[in-house]
Structure 1
Protein backbone atom coordinates (compact mmCIF):
# COMPACT_ATOMS: atom_id res chain seq x y z
CA UNK A 1 0.00 0.00 0.00
CA UNK A 2 1.46 3.34 -1.07
CA UNK A 3 1.59 6.09 1.53
CA UNK A 4 0.76 9.76 0.89
CA UNK A 5 1.08 12.81 3.14
CA UNK A 6 -1.49 15.55 2.48
CA UNK A 7 -0.95 18.91 4.19
CA UNK A 8 -3.83 21.33 4.63
CA UNK A 9 -5.93 18.17 4.82
CA UNK A 10 -8.79 19.70 6.83
CA UNK A 11 -9.36 22.37 4.21
CA UNK A 12 -11.79 22.34 1.30
CA UNK A 13 -9.54 20.82 -1.36
CA UNK A 14 -7.32 18.92 1.06
CA UNK A 15 -10.22 16.96 2.52
CA UNK A 16 -11.51 15.98 -0.92
CA UNK A 17 -8.01 14.80 -1.81
CA UNK A 18 -7.95 12.63 1.33
CA UNK A 19 -11.19 11.02 0.16
CA UNK A 20 -9.82 10.39 -3.32
CA UNK A 21 -6.58 8.78 -2.17
CA UNK A 22 -8.41 6.59 0.36
CA UNK A 23 -10.73 5.50 -2.46
CA UNK A 24 -7.71 4.70 -4.66
CA UNK A 25 -6.27 2.38 -1.99
CA UNK A 26 -3.56 4.62 -0.50
CA UNK A 27 -2.64 5.00 3.16
CA UNK A 28 -3.27 8.68 3.90
CA UNK A 29 -1.43 10.73 6.50
CA UNK A 30 -3.35 13.99 6.89
CA UNK A 31 -1.75 17.07 8.42
CA UNK A 32 -3.31 20.39 9.45
CA UNK A 33 -3.02 22.96 12.23
CA UNK A 34 -6.64 24.14 11.82
CA UNK A 35 -5.67 27.77 11.29
CA UNK A 36 -8.23 27.78 8.47
CA UNK A 37 -9.19 24.08 8.17
CA UNK A 38 -12.17 22.45 9.86
CA UNK A 39 -12.17 19.13 11.74
CA UNK A 40 -15.64 18.29 10.46
CA UNK A 41 -14.22 17.92 6.93
CA UNK A 42 -12.32 14.82 8.05
CA UNK A 43 -14.56 13.36 10.76
CA UNK A 44 -15.97 10.74 8.37
CA UNK A 45 -12.45 9.28 7.96
CA UNK A 46 -11.68 9.07 11.68
CA UNK A 47 -12.21 5.31 11.99
CA UNK A 48 -10.75 4.38 8.61
CA UNK A 49 -7.76 2.05 9.14
CA UNK A 50 -5.97 3.61 6.17
CA UNK A 51 -6.17 7.14 7.57
CA UNK A 52 -4.03 8.87 10.18
CA UNK A 53 -4.28 12.51 11.25
CA UNK A 54 -1.43 14.60 12.65
CA UNK A 55 -2.12 18.08 14.03
CA UNK A 56 0.96 20.07 13.10
CA UNK A 57 2.13 23.41 11.67
CA UNK A 58 4.24 22.69 8.58
CA UNK A 59 6.38 25.76 9.20
CA UNK A 60 7.87 23.76 12.08
CA UNK A 61 10.12 20.70 11.62
CA UNK A 62 8.16 17.75 10.20
CA UNK A 63 8.88 14.16 11.27
CA UNK A 64 7.13 11.21 9.62
CA UNK A 65 8.10 7.67 10.60
CA UNK A 66 8.56 5.01 7.96
CA UNK A 67 8.40 5.27 4.22
CA UNK A 68 6.54 7.89 2.23
CA UNK A 69 5.73 7.67 -1.47
CA UNK A 70 4.00 10.98 -2.15
CA UNK A 71 3.49 14.40 -0.57
CA UNK A 72 0.76 16.87 -1.56
CA UNK A 73 1.36 20.32 -0.09
CA UNK A 74 -1.98 22.10 0.24
CA UNK A 75 -1.36 23.89 3.54
CA UNK A 76 -2.04 27.58 3.01
CA UNK A 77 -4.76 30.13 3.58
CA UNK A 78 -6.48 30.33 0.20
CA UNK A 79 -9.17 32.96 0.61
CA UNK A 80 -8.74 36.74 0.79
CA UNK A 81 -10.31 37.04 4.24
CA UNK A 82 -7.82 34.49 5.57
CA UNK A 83 -4.61 35.70 4.00
CA UNK A 84 -5.39 39.34 4.75
CA UNK A 85 -6.05 38.49 8.41
CA UNK A 86 -2.94 36.31 8.76
CA UNK A 87 -0.45 37.66 6.20
CA UNK A 88 2.71 36.57 8.01
CA UNK A 89 1.50 32.99 8.43
CA UNK A 90 0.55 32.97 4.74
CA UNK A 91 4.07 33.97 3.73
CA UNK A 92 5.62 31.48 6.17
CA UNK A 93 3.62 28.48 4.99
CA UNK A 94 4.54 29.24 1.38
CA UNK A 95 8.23 29.63 2.19
CA UNK A 96 9.26 27.82 5.40
CA UNK A 97 6.50 25.24 5.08
CA UNK A 98 7.37 24.45 1.49
CA UNK A 99 11.07 24.26 2.35
CA UNK A 100 10.34 21.79 5.16
CA UNK A 101 8.22 19.59 2.92
CA UNK A 102 10.73 19.60 0.09
CA UNK A 103 13.37 18.54 2.61
CA UNK A 104 11.08 15.76 3.82
CA UNK A 105 10.46 14.62 0.24
CA UNK A 106 14.21 14.52 -0.36
CA UNK A 107 14.84 12.52 2.83
CA UNK A 108 12.06 10.03 1.99
CA UNK A 109 12.79 9.93 -1.75
CA UNK A 110 9.11 10.85 -2.24
CA UNK A 111 7.46 12.64 -5.12
CA UNK A 112 5.94 15.98 -4.06
CA UNK A 113 3.11 17.96 -5.63
CA UNK A 114 2.88 21.64 -4.74
CA UNK A 115 -0.46 23.47 -4.84
CA UNK A 116 0.13 26.76 -6.61
CA UNK A 117 -2.59 29.09 -7.85
CA UNK A 118 -3.83 31.22 -10.71
CA UNK A 119 -2.93 34.16 -8.46
CA UNK A 120 0.67 33.83 -9.68
CA UNK A 121 -0.63 35.53 -12.84
CA UNK A 122 -1.84 38.53 -10.81
CA UNK A 123 -4.07 40.89 -12.83
CA UNK A 124 -3.14 39.28 -16.15
CA UNK A 125 -2.26 41.15 -19.33
CA UNK A 126 -2.51 37.88 -21.28
CA UNK A 127 -5.88 36.18 -21.74
CA UNK A 128 -6.53 33.32 -21.31
CA UNK A 129 -3.57 32.55 -19.05
CA UNK A 130 -1.00 30.03 -20.28
CA UNK A 131 1.67 28.41 -18.12
CA UNK A 132 4.46 30.33 -19.89
CA UNK A 133 2.97 33.71 -18.89
CA UNK A 134 5.03 35.30 -16.08
CA UNK A 135 2.20 37.36 -14.61
CA UNK A 136 1.44 40.93 -13.56
CA UNK A 137 1.74 40.93 -9.76
CA UNK A 138 2.15 43.71 -7.22
CA UNK A 139 4.68 42.57 -4.63
CA UNK A 140 3.54 45.19 -2.11
CA UNK A 141 -0.21 45.21 -2.70
CA UNK A 142 -2.69 43.62 -0.26
CA UNK A 143 -2.79 40.39 -2.28
CA UNK A 144 1.00 40.19 -2.48
CA UNK A 145 1.33 38.06 0.66
CA UNK A 146 -0.51 35.22 -1.09
CA UNK A 147 0.67 35.81 -4.66
CA UNK A 148 4.34 36.07 -3.75
CA UNK A 149 4.19 33.15 -1.31
CA UNK A 150 2.98 30.98 -4.16
CA UNK A 151 5.50 32.35 -6.65
CA UNK A 152 8.34 31.66 -4.21
CA UNK A 153 6.86 28.22 -3.61
CA UNK A 154 7.15 27.44 -7.33
CA UNK A 155 10.73 28.77 -7.48
CA UNK A 156 12.07 26.74 -4.55
CA UNK A 157 10.26 23.64 -5.84
CA UNK A 158 11.95 23.93 -9.22
CA UNK A 159 15.29 24.58 -7.48
CA UNK A 160 14.95 21.28 -5.57
CA UNK A 161 13.96 19.56 -8.80
CA UNK A 162 16.97 20.87 -10.73
CA UNK A 163 19.62 20.80 -7.98
CA UNK A 164 18.61 17.66 -6.07
CA UNK A 165 16.81 15.77 -8.84
CA UNK A 166 13.68 15.67 -6.68
CA UNK A 167 10.48 14.38 -8.30
CA UNK A 168 8.24 17.46 -8.20
CA UNK A 169 4.88 18.49 -9.65
CA UNK A 170 3.24 21.94 -9.61
CA UNK A 171 -0.48 22.50 -10.10
CA UNK A 172 -1.80 26.01 -10.74
CA UNK A 173 -5.32 25.87 -9.36
CA UNK A 174 -8.00 28.15 -10.78
CA UNK A 175 -11.24 28.99 -8.96
CA UNK A 176 -12.66 25.75 -7.57
CA UNK A 177 -15.95 25.20 -5.78
CA UNK A 178 -18.09 22.50 -4.21
CA UNK A 179 -19.20 21.06 -0.86
CA UNK A 180 -17.07 21.87 2.21
CA UNK A 181 -16.31 25.42 1.16
CA UNK A 182 -16.68 27.84 4.05
CA UNK A 183 -19.49 30.35 3.75
CA UNK A 184 -18.30 33.94 3.44
CA UNK A 185 -14.61 33.12 3.25
CA UNK A 186 -14.14 35.90 0.70
CA UNK A 187 -14.49 33.78 -2.41
CA UNK A 188 -17.26 34.67 -4.78
CA UNK A 189 -19.36 31.47 -4.73
CA UNK A 190 -19.78 31.05 -0.94
CA UNK A 191 -20.12 34.82 -0.59
CA UNK A 192 -23.01 34.98 -3.07
CA UNK A 193 -24.68 31.83 -1.76
CA UNK A 194 -24.40 32.97 1.84
CA UNK A 195 -26.00 36.31 0.97
CA UNK A 196 -28.79 34.59 -0.97
CA UNK A 197 -29.55 32.16 1.86
CA UNK A 198 -29.66 34.99 4.40
CA UNK A 199 -31.97 37.05 2.19
CA UNK A 200 -29.36 39.75 1.59
CA UNK A 201 -28.65 41.56 -1.65
CA UNK A 202 -25.67 40.20 -3.60
CA UNK A 203 -22.56 42.38 -3.49
CA UNK A 204 -20.65 42.87 -6.73
CA UNK A 205 -17.43 44.86 -6.69
CA UNK A 206 -16.77 47.27 -9.53
CA UNK A 207 -19.23 47.10 -12.41
CA UNK A 208 -19.26 43.30 -12.48
CA UNK A 209 -17.48 43.04 -15.82
CA UNK A 210 -14.52 41.18 -14.30
CA UNK A 211 -14.51 37.50 -15.19
CA UNK A 212 -13.90 34.21 -13.40
CA UNK A 213 -13.89 30.56 -14.47
CA UNK A 214 -15.24 28.03 -11.96
CA UNK A 215 -14.14 24.39 -11.73
CA UNK A 216 -16.10 21.81 -9.75
CA UNK A 217 -14.09 20.10 -7.02
CA UNK A 218 -14.35 16.57 -8.44
CA UNK A 219 -12.83 17.74 -11.72
CA UNK A 220 -10.07 19.60 -9.87
CA UNK A 221 -9.19 16.54 -7.78
CA UNK A 222 -9.09 14.35 -10.89
CA UNK A 223 -6.66 16.77 -12.56
CA UNK A 224 -4.44 16.91 -9.47
CA UNK A 225 -4.42 13.11 -9.18
CA UNK A 226 -3.45 12.69 -12.83
CA UNK A 227 -0.71 15.34 -12.55
CA UNK A 228 0.82 13.67 -9.50
CA UNK A 229 1.12 10.38 -11.36
CA UNK A 230 2.39 11.97 -14.57
CA UNK A 231 6.04 12.49 -15.53
CA UNK A 232 5.67 16.27 -16.06
CA UNK A 233 7.53 18.59 -13.67
CA UNK A 234 6.65 22.10 -14.91
CA UNK A 235 3.51 23.95 -13.75
CA UNK A 236 0.15 22.90 -15.18
CA UNK A 237 -3.10 24.88 -15.12
CA UNK A 238 -6.06 22.93 -13.75
CA UNK A 239 -9.35 24.77 -14.01
CA UNK A 240 -12.50 25.19 -16.05
CA UNK A 241 -12.04 27.48 -19.08
CA UNK A 242 -15.73 28.45 -19.29
CA UNK A 243 -15.57 32.14 -18.40
CA UNK A 244 -18.39 34.27 -16.97
CA UNK A 245 -18.63 37.85 -15.72
CA UNK A 246 -19.29 38.38 -12.02
CA UNK A 247 -22.49 40.29 -12.84
CA UNK A 248 -23.80 37.40 -14.94
CA UNK A 249 -22.80 34.96 -12.24
CA UNK A 250 -24.66 36.90 -9.55
CA UNK A 251 -27.78 36.72 -11.73
CA UNK A 252 -27.27 32.95 -12.08
CA UNK A 253 -27.12 32.59 -8.29
CA UNK A 254 -30.35 34.54 -7.82
CA UNK A 255 -32.06 32.28 -10.37
CA UNK A 256 -30.60 29.11 -8.80
CA UNK A 257 -31.61 30.01 -5.26
CA UNK A 258 -35.07 31.18 -6.24
CA UNK A 259 -34.66 34.41 -4.30
CA UNK A 260 -35.56 37.95 -5.32
CA UNK A 261 -32.50 39.78 -4.07
CA UNK A 262 -30.99 42.64 -6.00
CA UNK A 263 -27.39 43.03 -7.10
CA UNK A 264 -25.67 45.98 -5.42
CA UNK A 265 -22.35 47.45 -6.50
CA UNK A 266 -19.38 48.58 -4.42
CA UNK A 267 -15.92 49.93 -5.22
CA UNK A 268 -13.49 47.47 -6.80
CA UNK A 269 -10.77 46.41 -4.30
CA UNK A 270 -7.08 47.04 -4.90
CA UNK A 271 -5.38 44.61 -7.34
CA UNK A 272 -8.57 42.64 -7.96
CA UNK A 273 -7.88 40.81 -11.25
CA UNK A 274 -10.16 41.77 -14.13
CA UNK A 275 -9.85 38.47 -16.01
CA UNK A 276 -9.29 34.92 -14.91
CA UNK A 277 -9.50 32.09 -17.41
CA UNK A 278 -7.15 29.11 -17.70
CA UNK A 279 -5.72 27.85 -20.94
CA UNK A 280 -5.86 24.10 -20.32
CA UNK A 281 -4.27 22.98 -23.59
CA UNK A 282 -1.29 21.56 -21.69
CA UNK A 283 -3.48 19.57 -19.27
CA UNK A 284 -5.42 18.14 -22.20
CA UNK A 285 -2.21 17.15 -23.96
CA UNK A 286 -0.15 15.62 -21.16
CA UNK A 287 -2.88 14.44 -18.75
CA UNK A 288 -5.77 13.80 -21.10
CA UNK A 289 -7.76 15.90 -18.65
CA UNK A 290 -10.53 18.42 -19.01
CA UNK A 291 -13.47 19.27 -16.72
CA UNK A 292 -16.60 17.14 -17.04
CA UNK A 293 -19.03 18.78 -14.59
CA UNK A 294 -20.94 21.75 -16.01
CA UNK A 295 -21.51 24.84 -13.90
CA UNK A 296 -25.30 24.28 -13.66
CA UNK A 297 -24.81 20.76 -12.27
CA UNK A 298 -21.96 21.67 -9.93
CA UNK A 299 -23.68 24.78 -8.59
CA UNK A 300 -26.85 22.82 -7.82
CA UNK A 301 -24.86 20.32 -5.73
CA UNK A 302 -22.98 23.12 -3.98
CA UNK A 303 -26.16 25.05 -3.21
CA UNK A 304 -27.75 21.96 -1.66
CA UNK A 305 -24.67 21.62 0.56
CA UNK A 306 -24.90 25.23 1.74
CA UNK A 307 -28.64 24.86 2.36
CA UNK A 308 -27.90 21.92 4.66
CA UNK A 309 -25.73 24.01 6.99
CA UNK A 310 -27.08 25.01 10.37
CA UNK A 311 -28.49 28.46 11.04
CA UNK A 312 -25.55 29.08 13.37
CA UNK A 313 -23.12 28.48 10.51
CA UNK A 314 -25.19 30.54 8.10
CA UNK A 315 -25.29 33.54 10.43
CA UNK A 316 -21.81 33.21 11.90
CA UNK A 317 -20.45 36.66 12.79
CA UNK A 318 -17.72 36.22 10.20
CA UNK A 319 -20.12 37.35 7.49
CA UNK A 320 -20.42 40.82 8.95
CA UNK A 321 -16.97 41.91 7.86
CA UNK A 322 -16.36 39.95 4.67
CA UNK A 323 -17.17 42.94 2.44
CA UNK A 324 -14.09 44.69 3.81
CA UNK A 325 -11.97 42.13 2.03
CA UNK A 326 -11.27 41.15 -1.52
CA UNK A 327 -13.56 38.66 -3.19
CA UNK A 328 -11.45 36.41 -5.38
Structure 2
Protein backbone atom coordinates (compact mmCIF):
# COMPACT_ATOMS: atom_id res chain seq x y z
CA UNK A 1 0.00 0.00 0.00
CA UNK A 2 2.83 2.41 0.89
CA UNK A 3 4.49 1.65 -2.49
CA UNK A 4 1.20 2.37 -4.28
CA UNK A 5 0.73 5.61 -2.33
CA UNK A 6 4.27 6.75 -3.12
CA UNK A 7 3.86 5.98 -6.82
CA UNK A 8 0.49 7.75 -6.93
CA UNK A 9 1.90 10.84 -5.21
CA UNK A 10 4.82 10.90 -7.65
CA UNK A 11 2.45 10.81 -10.64
CA UNK A 12 0.27 13.57 -9.20
CA UNK A 13 3.34 15.70 -8.45
CA UNK A 14 4.55 15.27 -12.03
CA UNK A 15 1.14 16.25 -13.36
CA UNK A 16 1.14 19.29 -11.10
CA UNK A 17 4.55 20.39 -12.43
CA UNK A 18 3.40 19.97 -16.06
CA UNK A 19 0.15 21.81 -15.38
CA UNK A 20 1.97 24.66 -13.64
CA UNK A 21 4.47 24.92 -16.50
CA UNK A 22 1.66 25.07 -19.06
CA UNK A 23 -0.13 27.76 -17.06
CA UNK A 24 3.02 29.88 -16.93
CA UNK A 25 3.64 29.38 -20.65
CA UNK A 26 0.24 30.61 -21.77
CA UNK A 27 0.26 33.44 -19.22
CA UNK A 28 3.62 34.63 -20.53
CA UNK A 29 2.39 34.61 -24.12
CA UNK A 30 -0.96 36.28 -23.47
CA UNK A 31 -0.47 38.55 -20.45
CA UNK A 32 3.12 39.33 -21.43
CA UNK A 33 2.03 40.40 -24.92
CA UNK A 34 -0.79 42.52 -23.48
CA UNK A 35 1.64 44.26 -21.15
CA UNK A 36 4.09 45.01 -23.95
CA UNK A 37 1.33 46.24 -26.25
CA UNK A 38 0.13 48.58 -23.53
CA UNK A 39 3.66 49.93 -23.16
CA UNK A 40 4.05 50.33 -26.95
CA UNK A 41 0.76 52.26 -27.04
CA UNK A 42 1.83 54.61 -24.25
CA UNK A 43 5.24 55.46 -25.71
CA UNK A 44 4.43 55.16 -29.41
CA UNK A 45 6.91 52.34 -30.02
CA UNK A 46 7.07 49.80 -32.81
CA UNK A 47 6.75 46.29 -31.36
CA UNK A 48 8.02 42.92 -32.60
CA UNK A 49 6.35 39.63 -31.69
CA UNK A 50 8.58 36.61 -32.15
CA UNK A 51 5.84 34.13 -32.90
CA UNK A 52 6.52 30.57 -33.95
CA UNK A 53 6.04 27.90 -36.57
CA UNK A 54 4.09 26.09 -33.83
CA UNK A 55 1.06 28.18 -34.84
CA UNK A 56 0.81 25.81 -37.84
CA UNK A 57 0.43 22.80 -35.53
CA UNK A 58 0.75 19.45 -37.27
CA UNK A 59 0.43 20.97 -40.74
CA UNK A 60 -1.70 19.58 -43.54
CA UNK A 61 -0.02 21.99 -45.97
CA UNK A 62 3.66 21.58 -46.88
CA UNK A 63 5.71 23.74 -46.92
CA UNK A 64 3.86 26.19 -44.70
CA UNK A 65 3.21 29.73 -45.93
CA UNK A 66 1.74 32.59 -43.96
CA UNK A 67 -1.76 32.17 -45.39
CA UNK A 68 -2.12 28.73 -43.82
CA UNK A 69 -4.28 28.82 -40.67
CA UNK A 70 -2.78 25.69 -39.17
CA UNK A 71 -3.88 22.40 -37.65
CA UNK A 72 -3.53 22.84 -33.88
CA UNK A 73 -5.00 20.63 -31.18
CA UNK A 74 -6.47 23.25 -28.78
CA UNK A 75 -6.54 20.87 -25.79
CA UNK A 76 -3.29 18.96 -26.34
CA UNK A 77 -0.22 18.99 -24.11
CA UNK A 78 1.55 21.43 -26.46
CA UNK A 79 -1.43 23.75 -26.84
CA UNK A 80 -0.37 26.11 -24.04
CA UNK A 81 2.47 27.21 -26.32
CA UNK A 82 0.76 26.85 -29.71
CA UNK A 83 -2.44 28.61 -28.70
CA UNK A 84 -0.58 31.14 -26.55
CA UNK A 85 1.34 32.33 -29.59
CA UNK A 86 -1.80 32.32 -31.75
CA UNK A 87 -3.59 34.51 -29.20
CA UNK A 88 -0.53 36.78 -29.04
CA UNK A 89 -0.76 37.28 -32.81
CA UNK A 90 -4.47 38.09 -32.46
CA UNK A 91 -3.74 40.69 -29.77
CA UNK A 92 -1.04 42.28 -31.92
CA UNK A 93 -3.42 42.79 -34.83
CA UNK A 94 -6.25 43.97 -32.56
CA UNK A 95 -4.01 46.71 -31.15
CA UNK A 96 -2.77 47.52 -34.66
CA UNK A 97 -6.28 47.93 -36.02
CA UNK A 98 -7.82 49.67 -33.00
CA UNK A 99 -4.96 51.85 -31.79
CA UNK A 100 -2.66 52.18 -34.78
CA UNK A 101 0.24 50.45 -33.03
CA UNK A 102 3.13 49.67 -35.37
CA UNK A 103 3.53 45.90 -35.20
CA UNK A 104 5.84 43.33 -36.71
CA UNK A 105 5.24 39.57 -36.43
CA UNK A 106 7.88 36.96 -37.25
CA UNK A 107 7.00 33.28 -37.31
CA UNK A 108 10.28 31.73 -36.27
CA UNK A 109 11.17 28.18 -37.30
CA UNK A 110 13.72 26.01 -35.46
CA UNK A 111 16.82 28.06 -34.66
CA UNK A 112 20.19 26.88 -33.36
CA UNK A 113 23.62 28.26 -32.57
CA UNK A 114 26.19 29.08 -29.87
CA UNK A 115 25.10 30.18 -26.37
CA UNK A 116 21.97 28.04 -26.35
CA UNK A 117 21.17 26.35 -23.06
CA UNK A 118 23.04 23.06 -23.24
CA UNK A 119 20.24 21.05 -21.64
CA UNK A 120 17.23 22.97 -22.96
CA UNK A 121 15.65 19.84 -24.47
CA UNK A 122 15.75 21.09 -28.07
CA UNK A 123 16.81 18.53 -30.60
CA UNK A 124 20.01 20.17 -31.89
CA UNK A 125 21.17 20.97 -28.34
CA UNK A 126 20.34 17.43 -27.24
CA UNK A 127 22.22 15.72 -30.05
CA UNK A 128 25.34 17.90 -29.79
CA UNK A 129 25.54 17.60 -25.99
CA UNK A 130 24.97 13.84 -26.16
CA UNK A 131 27.65 13.40 -28.83
CA UNK A 132 30.19 15.45 -26.84
CA UNK A 133 29.43 13.44 -23.67
CA UNK A 134 29.70 10.07 -25.48
CA UNK A 135 26.01 9.39 -24.82
CA UNK A 136 23.58 7.78 -27.30
CA UNK A 137 21.71 10.22 -29.53
CA UNK A 138 18.03 9.88 -28.58
CA UNK A 139 15.78 10.15 -31.62
CA UNK A 140 12.08 10.41 -30.86
CA UNK A 141 9.97 7.95 -32.81
CA UNK A 142 9.33 7.51 -35.66
CA UNK A 143 12.42 9.50 -36.65
CA UNK A 144 10.96 10.43 -40.02
CA UNK A 145 9.42 13.66 -38.71
CA UNK A 146 11.11 16.68 -40.29
CA UNK A 147 12.32 20.07 -39.13
CA UNK A 148 14.16 22.99 -40.72
CA UNK A 149 17.08 24.58 -38.87
CA UNK A 150 18.11 28.22 -39.14
CA UNK A 151 21.46 29.44 -37.79
CA UNK A 152 21.18 32.24 -35.24
CA UNK A 153 23.00 34.91 -37.27
CA UNK A 154 20.61 34.38 -40.18
CA UNK A 155 17.65 34.61 -37.80
CA UNK A 156 18.88 37.89 -36.29
CA UNK A 157 19.42 39.35 -39.76
CA UNK A 158 15.85 38.43 -40.72
CA UNK A 159 14.38 39.98 -37.57
CA UNK A 160 16.30 43.22 -38.07
CA UNK A 161 15.13 43.47 -41.67
CA UNK A 162 11.54 42.87 -40.55
CA UNK A 163 11.73 45.58 -37.87
CA UNK A 164 13.31 48.10 -40.23
CA UNK A 165 10.83 47.40 -43.04
CA UNK A 166 7.24 48.48 -43.58
CA UNK A 167 5.44 45.12 -43.53
CA UNK A 168 3.52 44.07 -40.43
CA UNK A 169 3.84 40.35 -41.12
CA UNK A 170 3.36 37.67 -40.17
CA UNK A 171 6.44 36.59 -42.08
CA UNK A 172 8.13 33.20 -41.84
CA UNK A 173 11.77 33.45 -40.79
CA UNK A 174 13.49 30.10 -41.11
CA UNK A 175 15.73 27.91 -43.24
CA UNK A 176 13.80 25.84 -45.81
CA UNK A 177 16.42 23.09 -45.70
CA UNK A 178 14.44 20.11 -44.38
CA UNK A 179 15.86 17.16 -42.42
CA UNK A 180 14.37 14.13 -40.74
CA UNK A 181 15.37 13.61 -37.13
CA UNK A 182 17.31 10.50 -38.15
CA UNK A 183 19.18 12.51 -40.80
CA UNK A 184 20.03 15.15 -38.22
CA UNK A 185 21.27 12.50 -35.78
CA UNK A 186 23.41 10.85 -38.47
CA UNK A 187 24.90 14.24 -39.41
CA UNK A 188 25.78 15.07 -35.78
CA UNK A 189 27.25 11.60 -35.31
CA UNK A 190 29.37 11.88 -38.44
CA UNK A 191 30.67 15.36 -37.66
CA UNK A 192 31.13 15.20 -33.87
CA UNK A 193 31.44 11.64 -32.59
CA UNK A 194 31.26 8.66 -35.00
CA UNK A 195 31.47 6.25 -32.04
CA UNK A 196 28.15 7.11 -30.42
CA UNK A 197 25.01 5.06 -30.95
CA UNK A 198 21.68 6.32 -32.19
CA UNK A 199 18.69 4.99 -30.26
CA UNK A 200 14.97 5.67 -30.48
CA UNK A 201 12.71 6.79 -27.63
CA UNK A 202 8.99 7.42 -27.30
CA UNK A 203 7.72 10.67 -28.75
CA UNK A 204 5.67 13.39 -27.11
CA UNK A 205 1.98 13.78 -28.04
CA UNK A 206 1.01 16.04 -30.97
CA UNK A 207 4.55 16.20 -32.31
CA UNK A 208 4.29 17.69 -35.84
CA UNK A 209 5.17 15.21 -38.58
CA UNK A 210 6.74 17.82 -40.85
CA UNK A 211 7.88 21.40 -40.68
CA UNK A 212 9.32 23.54 -43.47
CA UNK A 213 8.89 27.27 -44.06
CA UNK A 214 7.85 28.82 -47.33
CA UNK A 215 10.06 31.94 -47.25
CA UNK A 216 8.80 33.52 -50.50
CA UNK A 217 7.39 36.46 -48.54
CA UNK A 218 10.67 37.04 -46.67
CA UNK A 219 12.60 37.01 -49.94
CA UNK A 220 10.24 39.42 -51.70
CA UNK A 221 9.49 41.86 -48.87
CA UNK A 222 12.70 41.74 -46.82
CA UNK A 223 15.28 40.67 -49.38
CA UNK A 224 16.20 37.95 -46.90
CA UNK A 225 17.15 34.31 -47.11
CA UNK A 226 19.45 32.22 -44.90
CA UNK A 227 23.13 31.87 -45.78
CA UNK A 228 24.53 29.40 -43.23
CA UNK A 229 24.15 25.72 -44.08
CA UNK A 230 23.57 23.15 -41.34
CA UNK A 231 26.99 21.55 -41.83
CA UNK A 232 28.62 24.95 -41.41
CA UNK A 233 26.63 25.95 -38.34
CA UNK A 234 26.90 22.74 -36.29
CA UNK A 235 30.70 22.97 -35.72
CA UNK A 236 30.32 26.52 -34.37
CA UNK A 237 27.74 25.32 -31.88
CA UNK A 238 29.91 22.32 -31.01
CA UNK A 239 32.89 24.57 -30.20
CA UNK A 240 30.76 26.64 -27.83
CA UNK A 241 29.27 23.57 -26.12
CA UNK A 242 32.71 21.95 -25.67
CA UNK A 243 34.07 25.06 -23.97
CA UNK A 244 31.15 25.23 -21.54
CA UNK A 245 30.96 21.49 -20.86
CA UNK A 246 34.73 21.28 -20.52
CA UNK A 247 35.36 18.44 -22.97
CA UNK A 248 37.91 19.34 -25.69
CA UNK A 249 38.09 17.72 -29.09
CA UNK A 250 39.96 14.43 -29.15
TM-score (norm 2): 0.89
Deviation at 1:173, TM superposition (A): 0.3
Of structures 1 and 2, the one with the larger relative CO (CA 8 A, separation 6+) is 2
- Counterpart position of 2:185: 250
SS of residue matched to 2:165 = coil
CA distance in 1, matches of 2:203, 2:244: 30
Deviation at 1:88, TM superposition (A): 1.4
Query: Is the 8 Å Cα contact of residues 128 and 188 (structure 2) preserved in structure 1?
Result: yes
Choose 255-264 or 211-220, whichever is displaced more: 255-264
2:158 matches 1:214 = no
- Counterpart position of 2:84: 149
- Counterpart position of 1:125: 60
Compare the two structures and name the one with the higher helix fraction.
2
Deviations 1:74-121 (CA, angstroms, capped at 9, x unpaired)? xxxxxxxx9876211111111111001001001001100111000000
Unaligned runs of 5+ residues in structure 1 are 1-81, 313-328
2:74 matches 1:139 = yes
CA distance in 2, matches of 1:178, 1:110: 29
Query: Is the 8 Å Cα contact of residues 176 and 215 (structure 2) preserved in structure 1?
Result: yes
Selected match of 1:170 from 105, 111, 115: 105
CA distance in 2, matches of 1:166, 1:201: 49
SS of residue matched to 1:308 = helix
TM-score (norm 1): 0.68
Matches within 5 A, 1:197-236: 197-236=132-171
Matches within 5 A, 1:285-300: 285-300=220-235
Query: Is the 8 Å Cα contact of residues 111 and 152 (structure 2) preserved in structure 1?
Result: yes
CA distance in 2, matches of 1:303, 1:123: 30
Deviation at 1:155, TM superposition (A): 0.2
Greater CA radius of gyration, 1 or 2? 2
Large movers: runs of 4+ above 2 Å: 82-85
Query: Is the 8 Å Cα contact of residues 132 and 193 (structure 2) preserved in structure 1?
Result: no
CA distance in 2, matches of 1:127, 1:267: 25
Q: How many corresponding residue pairs?
A: 231
